[in-house]
C-alpha cells in the first residue's frame, strides 16, 4: 500500500513491481478480478486490464472512475457491502492485511463477492520484515514511513493459513519471496465450515 506523500520513498515502486510480478501469474486468464486495497492509482489492476475480462479496484484513496473493463470504487472496507459487483473469480489483497485492525472481518466479507472455488491471493510482510522495513523507512527514508507506521501486525505462515481456513478457504499455495521478507498465500473458496 503506497502512500504518495512520502516523496523520498523511491524504493516503493520497485517493491510494488516485485509484488505484481509475483502475483500476476496466478490470476486466471479472462477472470473477473476484485482488487481490495488497490491503492490511490490502481497500478496492479491497470496492469491486468488486457488479461482479465473485468476488474474492480477498491480503496479509500482511489479516484472513483470506470474505463474499458476496469472500475475503481472509492470506499473504505467498513462499507464494502455497498459494492454492487459480485461473482469474482479472484480477489487480491496485496500488502493490505497488515494494515487492518480486523483482517478476519474483511476476509469473511470476501465470501459475498467470490464464486465458489474462486481464488483469494494475498501478500503480506512476514515478521522477519519488521526490522528491515523499520530501517528502510525510519532510518533511510526509502520506504513509506506512513505506510510502515500503519502496520498493525506481521503475519507468519501459520497466522495466514489459519485465518484463511477459518474464513472458508482451502490453502493451495503458500510461499515466501523477497528473501523471506514477504509471503504469498493463495486459497480456494470452499465455503464456511458447518457448525
Please check whether residue 96 lies inside any domain of the structure: yes
Asked if residue 143 is part of any domain, the answer here is: no
Q: Is there a domain that residue 17 lies in?
A: yes
C-alpha cell at 159: 497466522
* Structure confidence at residue 79 (pLDDT): 76
Q: Is residue 80 part of a domain?
A: yes
How far does CA 23 lie from the centroid of its chain?
10
Strands 65-67 and 54-59, sheet pairing: unpaired
Length of the chain: 195
Across all residues in the chain, what is the average pLDDT? 90
State the pairing for strand pair 114-125/88-94. Answer: parallel
Q: Are 90 and 119 contacting, i.e. CB atoms less than 8 angstroms apart? A: yes
Q: How many CB atoms lie within 10 A of CB 60?
A: 13
* CATH value at residue 82: 3.40.50.150
**Phi first, then psi: what are they for 122, rounded to 5°?**
-135, 150
Q: Is the pLDDT of residue 194 over 70?
A: no
> Per the domain annotation, does 54 fall within a domain?
yes
Specify the pLDDT at position 15: 82
Q: Give the number of domains in the chain.
A: 1
DSSP structure class, residue 28: P
Domain-embedded: residue 44: yes
Q: What is the pLDDT of residues 62-111, one digit of tens each?
A: 988 888 899 999 998 887 877 888 899 999 999 999 999 999 999 999 98
The conformation of residue 75, written as its DSSP 8-state character, comes to -
pTM of the model: 0.90
Could you tell me what percent of the chain has a pLDDT over 90? 68
Residue 144 resides in a domain: no
Q: Which domain holds residue 185?
A: 12-126+154-189
pLDDT at 95: 94
The tens digit of pLDDT for each residue in 8-38 reads 577 888 888 888 899 999 999 999 999 999 9
Q: Name the least confident of 57-61, 83-87, 113-117.
A: 83-87
| Each residue's pLDDT tens digit, 144-159 | 899 999 999 999 999 9
User: Does residue 37 fall inside a structural domain?
Assistant: yes
Amino acid at each position: 500500500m503506497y502512500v504518495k506523500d512520502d516523496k523520498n520513498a523511491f524504493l516503493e515502486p520497485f517493491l510494488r513491481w516485485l509484488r505484481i510480478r509475483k502475483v500476476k501469474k496466478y490470476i486466471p486468464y479472462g477472470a473477473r478480478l476484485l482488487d481490495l486495497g488497490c491503492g490511490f492509482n490502481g497500478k496492479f489492476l491497470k496492469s491486468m486490464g488486457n488479461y482479465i475480462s473485468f476488474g474492480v479496484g477498491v480503496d479509500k484513496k482511489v479516484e472513483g472512475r470506470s474505463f474499458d473493463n476496469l472500475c475503481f470504487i472509492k470506499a473504505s472496507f467498513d462499507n464494502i457491502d455497498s459494492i454492487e459487483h459480485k461473482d469474482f473469480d479472484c480477489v487480491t489483497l496485496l500488502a493490505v492485511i497488515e494494515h487492518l485492525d480486523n483482517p478476519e472481518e474483511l476476509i469473511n466479507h470476501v465470501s459475498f463477492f467470490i464464486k465458489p472455488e474462486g481464488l483469494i491471493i494475498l501478500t503480506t510482510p512476514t515478521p522477519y520484515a519488521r526490522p528491515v522495513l523499520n530501517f528502510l523507512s525510519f532510518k533511510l527514508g526509502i520506504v513509506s514511513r506512513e505506510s510502515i507506521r500503519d502496520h498493525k501486525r506481521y503475519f507468519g505462515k501459520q497466522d495466514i493459513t489459519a485465518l484463511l481456513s477459518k474464513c472458508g478457504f482451502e490453502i493451495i499455495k503458500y510461499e515466501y519471496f523477497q528473501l523471506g521478507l514477504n509471503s504469498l498465500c493463495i486459497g480456494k473458496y470452499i465455503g464456511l465450515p458447518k457448525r
